[in-house]
Amino acid sequence: MKKIFTYLFCTALISSTFSQADNHYLFNKNSNTYNANSNSRIRYERDREIRKVNFFNNIKVQQLVKDGTLDIWQKHDALNALESQRIQKINSIYEQYSNAIAISTKQQRGNFDEKEY
């Protein structure tokens, strides 16, 4: 039971770290306007999807913990399977958005890597 509470606490802790919002706008002192940073927006969307995955994973874990038909070893195996699915989903989200961030950064730089000096 302590392991389950520890797991839920760690999942909540990880979820709360991802829920911390970055500064999505940069203040331009010359024109006194806010300009949206495209990388911050992409990162915000990525973090939002990760929070969504963690939220639904937490619901599944809570349902599994409350299930009285399974013995402790079946619950343990099911928790491990849910955790590996969660990790796979989060890794795919990171991979998807890291490509988007790389493309966005390259467009902002003007493809300096391809020019010869």
Residue 116's φ and ψ, nearest 5 degrees, are -100, 140
Rounded Cα gap, residues 67 and 21, in angstroms: 35
Which of the four pLDDT bands, split at 50, 70 and 90, describes residue 108?
low
pLDDT digits (tens, 9 = 90+) for 76-92: 999 999 999 999 999 99
Rounded Cα gap, residues 15 and 20, in angstroms: 9
Mean pLDDT of all residues in 44-49: 91
Rounded Cα gap, residues 34 and 45, in angstroms: 19
Element of type H or E holding 56? helix 38-66
Per the listing, tokens 């902002």 go with 108
CB 35 within 8 A of CB 25: yes
Residue 114: predicted pLDDT: 47
CB 57 within 8 A of CB 79: no
Which of the four pLDDT bands, split at 50, 70 and 90, describes residue 58?
very high
pLDDT at 52 over 90: yes
Which of the four pLDDT bands, split at 50, 70 and 90, describes residue 117?
very low
Which of the four pLDDT bands, split at 50, 70 and 90, describes residue 37?
low
**Total residue count of the chain as it appears in this document:** 117
pLDDT at 35 over 50: no
pTM reported for the whole predicted model: 0.54
